[in-house]
């Protein structure tokens, strides 16, 4: 069974990335402004400042849009997915809703990125730090041209900015957009022109109308930013999978999902949500190197035949090459037979026992469906992952020592693990006592109550190989 924790940790990682991006914008703005001198000899620093800020905003926007299935303003009939760890809620769109396909196209996504940047651009336009200039920005004319490709997102920002500057400070080679029609205007005329554009946006106290220095007006309007991103690839994979799923109507296309994971080199997690009248699957695609998570959902009407039978929820299973794998599927309520949808094995229709020996060519991760049905046509099904690995796991871990902490004192520990294939690792815990850092494997917290606490740490690599280590923490009073 695909547990909520599997999808939630993906989404939490995405939110962490989003928060870190926001923090980077704050430090960018402070670092940039602190390093500027009060004497600016040309407008290139202004251009660099705005483009650097826009680049940070662009990164934050595309991570948010990926988490929300390609949308900034999500359709109203989307799924509300809460993440209690962050007191945070995401809106996840239905790409498939009871047989109706609703997938945005790339042009739609470009418009969503543009809309998000328009809402955030003010944070990049505080030019008061450049105190050699008086500026006016016509915000009503700001717009963004967005280009989305498989591995890159680029923008051209049209931001009409007019600057009043002392003549000797102008570098004409850097400012090809110099408004030559205003070159001959006197200092007084130039400043009055700036003021007349919009009195509300000009600091009148900073303008000395009696100053004798000649001033010119410079126009800036084009700014560019770009970032490498798998947003386009993740969207294409999600769209293609949805198209294939639609062909299968209410039957979950697990072979399509396996094909998606293997061909795209993306990690795929799913969570099932069952309501009274619908069955929802939330899909989370994570790119390689694992810096972006793309969410979308499919919604199905529940069959009226479901209900009388019940099959167990199965956790993710793991088998080893060359070793016999045996697992007994459990079910209750009435007379029934077992069935499966895979070519890897044939489940015993009477006992529910799965028995087979994986071969070398069967290595990989599979999405398996098993079910039960009776003579009346009633049925119940469960979906789980089966990972077939070599005898030697690529994840190398060290035994967790017996840990000791103290109530009210900061406790810190890093779990040691590595990959023999140099793959990225992620960490997940089952403890209510602490939250492990999913990237570094470190825990840091202040224990609040004494006692001995057992916990499990699961370490997963990019190929879905995983190991679980058990540990114990003694908290002294």
Q: Answer yes or no: is 105 within a domain.
A: yes
What's the whole-model pTM score? 0.54
Of 412, 431, 413, 411, the C-alpha closest to 476 is 411
Of 189, 270, 183, 264, the C-alpha closest to 230 is 264
Look over the chain and give the mean of its residue pLDDT values, rounded to a whole number.
77
Q: Which of residues 198, 228, 258 is at a domain's end?
A: 228
Looking at the chain, the whole-number percentage of residues with pLDDT higher than 90 is: 27
> 343 is in which domain, residue-wise?
303-391
Cα separation, 72 vs 63, whole angstroms? 10
CA distance to 21, 162, 187, 221, per residue, from 170 (Å): 35, 13, 14, 17
Q: Answer yes or no: is 282 within a domain.
A: no
Same domain, 83 and 221: yes
Q: Answer yes or no: is 12 within a domain.
A: yes
The pair phi, psi for residue 92, each rounded to 5°, is: -110, 120
Cα separation, 227 vs 398, whole angstroms? 38
- What is the total count of domains within the chain? 3
Q: State pLDDT tens for residues 14-46.
A: 555 555 555 554 444 443 433 333 333 478 889
Q: Any residues with CB less than 8 A from the CB of 272 and at least 6 apart, and which?
A: 1, 2, 279, 280, 281, 383
Q: Point out the least confidently predicted range of 231-235, 308-312, 337-341, 398-402.
A: 308-312
Same domain, 173 and 139: yes
- CATH (domain of 406): 2.60.40.10
Sign of CA dihedral 359, 365, 367, 372: positive
Q: State pLDDT tens for residues 38-71.
A: 333 478 889 999 999 999 999 999 999 999 999 9
Q: Answer yes or no: is 173 within a domain.
A: yes
Cα separation, 91 vs 75, whole angstroms? 9
Same domain, 120 and 10: yes
Same domain, 329 and 210: no
State the pLDDT at residue 118: 95
Token reading at 205: 């106290």
The more confidently predicted of residues 144 and 172 is: 144
Same domain, 175 and 131: yes
Same domain, 344 and 428: no
Q: Answer yes or no: is 455 within a domain.
A: yes
314 three-class SS? coil
Same domain, 382 and 435: no
Alpha carbon 215 to its chain centroid, in Å, reads 48
Q: Answer yes or no: is 279 within a domain.
A: no
Q: State pLDDT tens for residues 182-221.
A: 333 334 444 444 433 433 334 333 444 334 455 678 888 8
Most confident of 17-21, 141-145, 168-172, 185-189: 141-145
| DSSP line for 229-276 | -SHHHHHHHHHHHHHHHHHTTTS--HHHHHHHHHHH--EEEEEEEE-S
Q: State pLDDT tens for residues 238-265.
A: 998 898 888 877 667 666 777 777 777 7
């Amino acid at each position: 069974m695909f547990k909520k924790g599997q999808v939630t940790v993906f989404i939490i990682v995405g939110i962490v990335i989003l928060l870190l991006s926001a923090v980077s914008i704050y430090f960018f703005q402070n670092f940039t402004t602190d390093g500027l001198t009060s004497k600016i000899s040309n407008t290139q620093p202004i251009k660099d400042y705005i483009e650097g800020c826009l680049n940070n905003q662009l990164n934050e926007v595309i991570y948010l849009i990926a988490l929300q299935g390609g949308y900034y303003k999500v359709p109203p009939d989307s799924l509300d997915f809460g993440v209690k760890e962050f007191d945070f809620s995401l809106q996840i769109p239905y790409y498939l809703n009871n047989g109706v396909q609703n997938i945005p196209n790339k042009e739609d996504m470009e418009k969503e990125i543009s809309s998000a940047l328009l809402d955030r651009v003010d944070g990049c336009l505080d030019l008061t730090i450049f105190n050699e200039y008086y500026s006016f920005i016509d915000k009503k004319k700001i717009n963004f041209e967005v280009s989305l490709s498989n591995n890159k997102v680029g923008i051209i920002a049209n931001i009409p900015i007019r600057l009043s500057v002392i003549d000797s400070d102008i570098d004409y080679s850097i400012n090809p957009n110099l408004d030559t029609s205003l070159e001959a205007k006197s200092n007084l005329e130039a400043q009055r022109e700036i003021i007349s554009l919009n009195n509300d946006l000009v600091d009148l106290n900073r303008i000395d109308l009696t100053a004798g220095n000649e001033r010119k007006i410079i126009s800036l309007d084009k700014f560019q930013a770009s970032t490498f991103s798998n947003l386009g690839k993740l969207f294409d994979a999600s769209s293609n999978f949805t198209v294939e799923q639609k062909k299968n109507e209410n039957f979950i296309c697990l072979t399509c999902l396996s094909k998606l994971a293997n061909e795209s080199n993306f990690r795929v997690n799913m969570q099932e949500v069952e309501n009274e009248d619908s069955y929802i699957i939330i899909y989370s695609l994570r790119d390689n190197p694992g810096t972006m998570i793309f969410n979308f959902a499919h919604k199905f009407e529940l069959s009226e035949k479901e209900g009388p039978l019940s099959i167990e929820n199965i956790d993710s299973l793991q088998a080893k090459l060359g070793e016999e794998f045996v697992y007994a599927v459990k079910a209750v309520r009435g007379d029934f037979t077992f069935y499966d949808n895979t070519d890897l094995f044939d489940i015993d229709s009477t006992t529910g026992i799965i028995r087979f020996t994986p071969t070398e060519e069967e290595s990989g991760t599979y999405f398996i469906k098993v079910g039960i049905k009776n003579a009346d046509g009633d049925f119940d099904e469960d979906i789980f992952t089966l990972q077939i690995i070599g005898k030697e796991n690529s994840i190398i871990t060290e035994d967790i020592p017996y840990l000791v902490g103290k109530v009210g004192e900061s406790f810190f520990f890093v779990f040691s693990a590595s990959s023999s294939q140099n793959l990225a690792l992620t960490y997940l815990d089952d403890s209510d006592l602490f939250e492990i850092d999913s990237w570094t494997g470190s825990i840091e917290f202040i224990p609040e109550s004494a006692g001995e606490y057992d916990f499990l740490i699961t370490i997963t690599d990019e190929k879905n190989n995983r190991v679980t280590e058990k540990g114990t923490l003694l908290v002294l009073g």
